[in-house]
Structure 1
Amino acid sequence: MNTSLFRKKLLQIIGVVLSISLLAGCGGQAAEDGAGADGKVTLTVWHNWTGQDAKAVSMRKQLEDFQANHPDIVLEAEGLPTDGLRTRLRTVAAADEMPDLFVMFPDAMTKEFVKGDLLQPINEELDKKPEWKNGFIPGALDGFTVDGNIYSVPMNLAPSSFIYYNKALFDQHGVKVPETWDELLTAVRTFNEKGVIPIALGNKTNWVAQSTTFSTIADRITGTDWFLKAVAQDGASFTDPQFIEALTKLQELGNAKAFQDGFNSIDETQMMQLYFQGKAAMVINGGWALANLVNNAPPEVLDNTHITIIPPIEGGKGEPATTSGVVGTGMGVSKKLTGARKEAAMELLYALSGPEGQQVTLNSSTLVSYDIALDESKAHPLFVELYNLMKNIKIVPVYDSKLSSAAVEVTNNGLQELLMGGDPKAIAQKIQDAQAGAVAQ
């Protein structure tokens, strides 16, 4: 080969390589800065707004509106059912591969992610907008605060335990709406005699019985202070007699045939369908179920549905006018975000949980942890009933917001076993061992 031609070819190759290197360097800088070559920022967003209830539809619409109003920001949104989202988040957390923004639960999950150095604090963003920060109800930010840093704000208020009941079925069969535990058992017995499911339950995904029913029953008996001490393993144990009594009370409902056959084989959606079809007199579910009722229940069921709480239990140490729950989920922001991507993430966080976002959520028949008034003339009557009920109801901790991940799983599985005839003392020991092990780490 001609030497000068060889040198010419070699210089061309070197030039191409250098050009590629320079382009790669520019691309790397852009990626680090957050914007792509087209100037657009891409954010991955994981959420649990997958249903057709008013809340889910409203939140998806907010994402769509944000995308339309911010053409320079591309949202790669993915919806997962709540239990699937929890599992997947903990899986990617273990691998340090978090999405950019994600629906996150307060208390235990937030603390675990902070401990894993996975979250971005948002103190600076809140301080920039004091009208936003100061609009939350007292204590609303506590579940997202760790060592003085705030990692999210609630987008809703999530009481997890109400009895939704079909007043027409109660009247038809001469049943009193229960105000005591004995009256609840009497209602269960009467509906069974009349061939009506007393309480629809769908515990296939195993969190339902714990979140909607057991957490409140347990607080009625043990009181909140005992539970928090047991969580901290500081002067209380899940093998204490009061906790075993709480397990026994839930089992008492199961033994009384309060729930339909096969309750561990259907999920929350199917559970609600039993109620919608008029086959069940009651369903115990969280405040989030109201948006589902308003959107999907037939008129003959919706128009006869009213709301109350699990009745007090005689001799219990807990307050009677309470429901288990949390202040609501928030959007977690990955710690890896910097530059333009971080700015875009904070814009989306504010759009979903700022004053306008909170108003949109309230308008979707969903309670919020924000100090804004409900226009009762525009709200569904059932939501007005829930909204006014909450004025006289205190929220106590739902178990899966305070227990460790390991203890939550053991508790959920244990309650499935309990309702199938399992030994309360043996189940209590498993929960104690799981929580003690987690605290010791």
Structure 2
Amino acid sequence: MKKSALTLLSLLLVMTMFLAACGNNGGSNNNSGSTNTPSSAPEESTEPSKAPEPVELRVFSTFGGTDAAREAFQKAIDEFTAANPHVKVKNDTMSANDDGFRTKVNTDMTSGNEPDLLFYFIGTDATEIINSGKVVAMDEILDADAEWKNGFAPAALESVRTADGKIYAIPLTGYYEGLFVNKKLFEENGVELPTDWEKFKAAVSAFKAKGIIPLSGPFDQSHYLIEHFVLAAAGAEGQAKGLKDGIDPNWEKGLAAMKEVYDLGAFPEDAATIDLGMAGNYYSEGLAAMILEGSWAIGGWSEETKANTTVLPFPAIPGGVGTGKDVVGGFGSGFYMSKAAYDDAAKKDATIALLKHLTNPASIKSIATANGGTPAAAGVQPEGLPQAALDGFKMVSEATSINSPIDSKVTPETFSTIRANIQPVVTGKKTPKEALEEAMAIETAAK
């Protein structure tokens, strides 16, 4: 009896617990107003998700026209909009070689017409838009997404850090500049490659005598001429200080050397009127033996020219302190996010998402492959590059210094003054000292 009673008691206890459990479960499936489960639960589980509101973004960059990475950049944008159909992206472009590019950026940034993402120069050119608060520091956004941040080569991010310790521009691809030479023309004409100053001058004289343009370059858009002749004389330290400590005598030597080779017939006869695009055409068409250019130029040359080209560091100028292996390069441009977009709740997330897509390893690899640039992404190796591009990477790896260009070390007005004085200097109408004194006066007035 005791055993039967105990068994019955146990059974009753189990049944009581079962019924209690059923009662609780049942409370969520009836309309009795039970307080066990919120009455809104069924509505939340059946309500369809709301589609994102349409967003239109504007990106302003140099990836247009004849830029070698134009199609790769547009493809990256198309990939993003395909995955985010509620986002429309206006791809606004302008050539960086066009002097109006800087004017356009400055006008937009000061008139309330800021692009949501701006691909622009790093250095002095960006000082005003950073100091005016028109763009936002990206450090917190980078730190909030470890996967995105860790996708960059650490050196690439460090190279774009500004004097205040912050990162405003997200790098995409780096670059190098150098003396590109047509090996075939040198071989066919029995001319030694210009690996030092005397061989460079000998090449100039030899090609001039044969009716071949020795060094293709314009006097107005003389960016690359100025950068290399000054660096070859002043060396890394002298070039880096710009004009802030006065005029370095080696800068004068660099401009004097430019006149020296001008007198030997180095430049095109129409160097006073052509632009960088035409100078590049002369080289690409085999009409010029050498050109000072950047890695991005390779993609725009004919296949034959690519195959016949190598790149060398510009030779050191005697009497100066250059090493002959000082190279211009680095990460000179990046994506800035406007403060206006960051503060716009309707645009902020979409703009950041687009920025992350444009700078993910796959996009960087695609664009670096197109323009031959140094990838900002860690572990990314561009594919299918011509030998000239590989020679460029080798040149950089062997360089004694890698230097940002002069126009990142002086004000735009100062650099424009130097450019405007190149023709007077090489034609003997002004001395290098007079030209640099004019630039120094502009630089001093800007402080």
Which of residues 413, 418, 422 in structure 2 aligns to 1:411? 418
**Per chain length, whose mean CA-contact separation is higher, i.e. which structure has more relative contact order (CA < 8 Å, sep 6+)?**
1
Which of residues 287, 303, 325 in structure 2 aligns to 1:321? 325
Give the whole-Å Cα distance in 1 for the aligned partners of 2:182 and 2:231: 26
- The residue number in structure 1 matching 2:294 is 286
Asked if structure 1 preserves the Cα contact closer than 8 Å seen for 2:178 and 2:294, the reply is yes
- The residue number in structure 1 matching 2:236 is 224
- The residue number in structure 1 matching 2:70 is 56
Q: Gapped runs of 5+ residues in structure 2?
A: 1-50
- 1:397 shift after superposition: 2.4
| Length, aligned pairs only | 389
Asked if structure 2 preserves the Cα contact closer than 8 Å seen for 1:111 and 1:146, the reply is no
- 1:230 shift after superposition: 4.0
1:183-225 Cα shifts (integer Å, max 9, x gaps):
1111000101111111111344x2xx22x22212212222332
Amino acid corresponding to residue 42 of structure 1 in structure 2: E
Is the alpha carbon distance of 1:185 and 1:137 closer, same or farther for their aligned partners in structure 2, counting shifts above 3 Å?
Answer: farther
1:80 lines up with 2:94 in the alignment: yes
Give the whole-Å Cα distance in 2 for the aligned partners of 1:38 and 1:229: 50
Give the whole-Å Cα distance in 1 for the aligned partners of 2:207 and 2:445: 43
SS at match of 1:98: coil
Is the alpha carbon distance of 1:169 and 1:74 closer, same or farther for their aligned partners in structure 2, counting shifts above 3 Å?
Answer: same
Is the alpha carbon distance of 1:97 and 1:422 closer, same or farther for their aligned partners in structure 2, counting shifts above 3 Å?
Answer: farther
- The residue number in structure 2 matching 1:237 is 246
- The residue number in structure 2 matching 1:194 is 210
Which of residues 357, 362, 378 in structure 2 aligns to 1:356? 362
1:389 lines up with 2:401 in the alignment: no
Give the whole-Å Cα distance in 2 for the aligned partners of 1:169 and 1:188: 12
- The residue number in structure 2 matching 1:252 is 260
Which of residues 345, 348, 368 in structure 2 aligns to 1:342? 348
Asked if structure 2 preserves the Cα contact closer than 8 Å seen for 1:155 and 1:328, the reply is no
Q: TM-score, normalised by structure 1?
A: 0.82
Give the whole-Å Cα distance in 1 for the aligned partners of 2:288 and 2:60: 34
- 1:96 shift after superposition: 4.4
Is the alpha carbon distance of 1:246 and 1:367 closer, same or farther for their aligned partners in structure 2, counting shifts above 3 Å?
Answer: same
- The residue number in structure 2 matching 1:311 is 315
SS at match of 1:46: strand
Is the alpha carbon distance of 1:149 and 1:351 closer, same or farther for their aligned partners in structure 2, counting shifts above 3 Å?
Answer: same
Q: TM-score, normalised by structure 2?
A: 0.81
Q: Gapped runs of 5+ residues in structure 1?
A: 1-36
- The residue number in structure 2 matching 1:400 is 407
Asked if structure 2 preserves the Cα contact closer than 8 Å seen for 1:203 and 1:268, the reply is no
Is the alpha carbon distance of 1:96 and 1:247 closer, same or farther for their aligned partners in structure 2, counting shifts above 3 Å?
Answer: farther
Is the alpha carbon distance of 1:276 and 1:216 closer, same or farther for their aligned partners in structure 2, counting shifts above 3 Å?
Answer: closer
Asked if structure 1 preserves the Cα contact closer than 8 Å seen for 2:357 and 2:363, the reply is yes
Amino acid corresponding to residue 329 of structure 1 in structure 2: S
- The residue number in structure 2 matching 1:130 is 146
- The residue number in structure 1 matching 2:129 is 113
Deviates more, 1:90-99 or 1:306-315: 90-99
Q: Percent identity?
A: 25
Alignment RMSD: 2.2
